[in-house]
Structure 1
Amino acid sequence: MAVSRVQDGKRLKRSVYHRLRKEAEAAQPKIEAKATAKYLRISPKKARSVINAIRGKNVDEALQILMFSPKKAARLTYKVLVSAIANAENNFGLNADDLYVAEVYVNDGPRMKRLWPRGRGRADILLKRMSHITVVVRDRQKEKELKSQK
Structure 2
Amino acid sequence: MKVLSGIHEPTKGTITINNINYNKLDHKLAAQLGIGIIYQELSVIDELTVLENLYIGRHLTKKICGVNIIDWREMRVRAAMMLLRVGLKVDLDEKVANLSISHKQMLEIAKTLMLDAKVIIMDEPTSSLTNKEVDYLLSSISDHESVA
TM-score scaled to structure 2, two decimals? 0.26
Which structure shows the bigger proportion of residues in helix conformation?
1
Which structure shows the bigger proportion of residues in strand conformation?
1
**Structure number with bigger Rg:** 1
